[in-house]
């Protein structure tokens, strides 16, 4: 049986199946949510703005891809910041999908990654202390016995300072 893999324009293996708002693959031919383009270089302010738009829309998986672009294309000294933010978004994704253990673990890992930055207060307009508190509080609720999936849009954090 010849199983051909989906390939992107550069020939890299890339699943072309449509995805839902939480990044889960849907059957071929099903309408899905447009995927985030990869490798987009944005300013930190543009990254935060786009990630917030996606979080507010209940699409943390897509927000994680925006943070991942910043992590891979930004200055090395900020890679850990953007990686931690991507982990928060993926943690929310798992919590919304009903994966309590994975969601709580990634929320806590992202919060731990922001700890070093938290002492600096606001970075790129983000109140990192508030994000750490949000992540740890949500991880505790997601991890509680009997907790079910969360609503990603309702639980989305506010990245920027008010």
DSSP letter, residue 78: G
In a domain, 86, yes or no: yes
Q: How many CA atoms lie within 13 A of 99 on its CB side?
A: 13
Q: What is the pTM of this model?
A: 0.84
Residue 138: domain span = 44-145
Do the domain assignments include residue 141?
A: yes
Domain-embedded: residue 39: no
Give the tens place of pLDDT for each residue, 103-143. 999 999 999 999 877 667 678 999 999 999 999 999 999 99
Quote the CA–CA distance of 70 and 81 in Å, as a whole number: 9
| pLDDT value for 17 | 78
If one counts the domains in the chain, the total is 1
Report the half-sphere exposure of 39 (CA within 13 A, side-chain side). 0
pLDDT value at 10 more than 50: yes
> Which band of pLDDT confidence, cut at 50, 70 and 90, is reported for residue 90?
very high
93 is a domain residue: yes
Look at residue 53 and tell me if it is in a domain: yes
CATH number of the CATH domain containing 68: 1.10.3450
Q: Which residues are CB-neighbours of 102 under 8 A, at least 6 positions away?
A: 91, 94
Angle, CA of 35, 69 and 54, to the nearest 5° = 50
The CA distance from 88 to 107, in Å, is 5
């Amino acid at each position: 049986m010849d199983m051909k893999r989906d390939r992107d324009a550069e020939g890299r293996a890339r699943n072309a199946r449509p995805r839902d708002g939480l990044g889960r693959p849907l059957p071929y031919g099903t309408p899905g949510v447009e995927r985030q383009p990869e490798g987009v270089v944005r300013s930190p302010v543009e990254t935060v703005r786009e990630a917030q738009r996606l979080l507010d829309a209940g699409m943390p998986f897509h927000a994680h891809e925006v943070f991942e672009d910043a992590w891979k294309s930004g200055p090395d000294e900020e890679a850990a910041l953007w990686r931690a933010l991507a982990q928060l978004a993926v943690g929310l994704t798992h919590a919304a999908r009903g994966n309590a253990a994975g969601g709580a673990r990634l929320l806590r890992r992202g919060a731990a990654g922001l700890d070093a930055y938290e002492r600096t207060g606001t970075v790129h307009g983000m109140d990192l202390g508030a994000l750490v508190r949000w992540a740890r509080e949500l991880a505790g609720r997601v991890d509680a016995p009997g907790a079910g999936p969360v609503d990603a849009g309702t639980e989305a954090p506010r990245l920027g300072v008010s």
